[in-house]
């Protein structure tokens, strides 16, 4: 029991070191960094273009829907890589499972196409 608890000490030390480094870097850079303020420096600035108008313009829900669908399908495609690496070891059972996975992925893809979720107006 005692040796099991001791095996977590390196993990705890690494976590404390990482958190300490981040906190220390933020504190040191805040203390050592320049503190010059001016009206020009405090103005909003974006990519060399002066800001005009209100920044709180609502985006279409379609934009967020397309972004979420992209992330969803992108993450699902990541699961193909380990399968392709272990293709021979998985055998026929792995092949059947991957075909089922791909069919479910295609059903979802055809569903969003049918609902016209990817069409811009």
- 68 and 26 in a common domain: no
Domains: count for the chain: 2
- 15 and 64 in a common domain: no
- 63 and 30 in a common domain: no
| pLDDT tens for each residue of 60-118 | 778 888 888 888 888 888 888 888 898 889 899 999 999 999 999 899 889 988 988 88
Residue 40 lies in a domain: no
Give the residue numbers spanning the domain of 18: 1-34
| pLDDT tens for each residue of 14-58 | 999 999 999 999 999 989 988 888 877 777 666 666 667 777 777
Residue 52 lies in a domain: no
- CATH number of 103's domain: 1.20.58.1610
**Mean of per-residue pLDDT scores for the chain:** 85
Distance of CA 121 to the CA centre of its chain: 27
pLDDT over 80 at 4, yes or no: no
């Amino acid at each position: 029991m005692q040796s099991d608890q001791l095996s977590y000490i390196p993990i705890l030390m690494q976590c404390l070191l990482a958190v300490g480094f981040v906190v220390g870097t933020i504190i040191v850079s805040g203390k050592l960094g320049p503190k010059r303020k001016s009206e020009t420096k405090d103005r909003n600035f974006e990519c060399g273009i002066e800001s005009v108008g209100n920044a709180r313009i609502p985006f279409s829900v379609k934009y967020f829907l397309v972004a979420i669908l992209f992330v969803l399908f992108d993450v699902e495609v990541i699961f193909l890589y380990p399968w392709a690496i272990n293709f021979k070891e998985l055998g026929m059972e792995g092949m059947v499972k991957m075909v089922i996975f791909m069919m479910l992925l295609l059903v979802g893809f055809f569903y969003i196409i049918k609902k016209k979720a990817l069409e811009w107006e």
